[in-house]
Amino acid sequence: MGVDFSFRYEFQVEQRRASQSAEAIRARMPACGLSPRASCWTGQGSGEGFAGPNPQFELCSGWLTLLPPGDWKKSFHQWFFADWQRPPAGQFDPAELQGDLEAAREISSGRHDPRAFAAALEEVDRRKGRRRDVASYSVSVGPALEKALRAGDQLTFWHGNEFMYSLKRDGEIVLRAGPLDRNDEGGAFAVWQSRDEFPQLDQELRTQPSTREQVMEQIRKLQQFVEANPVYASARIQDKTFRLTSRQGSREGRYYVFLGRANESVQCLGDTSEAIYSAGRLDVIHVKEIEEAALHLMSPKTMLL
């Protein structure tokens, strides 16, 4: 069964301050890019999800870190953590595995209960230092959010299939990055998937190729098909609407929207990545930084410690 990394949290942004957790992360992961003695934006959160109920957040050096409450525990095997060192090949010890199984049977009192035995194996791993509690979960969101934040802002951060954040100031969204909106829900700007039907593949492109030459020819024709039929996202700024393809942006007044990635590959080439966009208010953040916000969330790094 996979791990559920989903969450949705809302934070009240507080003043920057020195961070002990950032120093702890740097100690474990020197190459992560966190600056020495980093000063971080912080805030208390509300909500539920992977980092427990009502975590705190810290943001510095482009890393947004969720800090679970002290009375909440969630443990994982050591290989889930970013600082785990993979042992050299050939060090598997069958005798150690047999010992672990026997210890688990003793802990579970020999009951024929799969759940009880799995819990007993987790306890064996914990006793041997192979399992530990989550101390922090960090996501690389890039520099844009950090530059835009001010004390008193409201920050929403969530993860479903993709990461998304939204920054509000005085009740208005001034920076947003993540998947497209489901539809135009109002506000100063919105970006949603166009309703135009993607053209159906020709029968020739649906036929299974049987030779290498046919495979190469079909790939060439598929690429031509995608280029000739770009998938658009619809964008609105104030009362004006636009159509955007990947890596396209549009400006109107003091707002700018940018489509980092469209859903252009989903239809026929099997890519299930969601479209990602960013938008912001230009008196808060620059065009280049708004674009970087989307580009960072297209392939974010994560760090569990």
* Residues whose CB falls within 8 Å of the CB of residue 45, separated by 6 or more in sequence, listed in order: 9, 10, 11, 54, 55, 56, 57, 66
Percent above pLDDT 90 for the chain: 44
100-120 confidence digits (pLDDT tens)? 677 777 777 777 777 777 777
Cα–Cα distances in Å, from 297 out to 139, 177, 178, 238?
9, 7, 7, 25
pLDDT tens-digit series, residues 176-189: 999 988 778 789 99
What is the tens place of the pLDDT at every residue in 84-104? 877 776 566 777 777 767 777
pTM score of the predicted model? 0.79
Judged against a pLDDT cut of 80, whether residue 235 lies above it is answered with yes
The confidence score (pLDDT) of residue 271 equals: 47
**Is residue 123 classed exposed, middle or buried when 0-12, 13-18 and 19+ CB atoms within 10 A define those classes?**
middle
Pairing assessment for the beta strands 240-244 and 255-261 based on DSSP bridges: unpaired
Choose among 68, 125, 137: nearest CA to 99: 125
Look at residue 27 in the predicted model and tell me its pLDDT. 65
Mean pLDDT on 219-243: 83
Residue 220 has φ and ψ, to the nearest 5°, of -60, -45
Structure tokens at 110: 């020999």
Chain mean pLDDT for the chain: 83
> What's the pLDDT tens digit per position in 45-65?
999 999 999 999 999 889 999
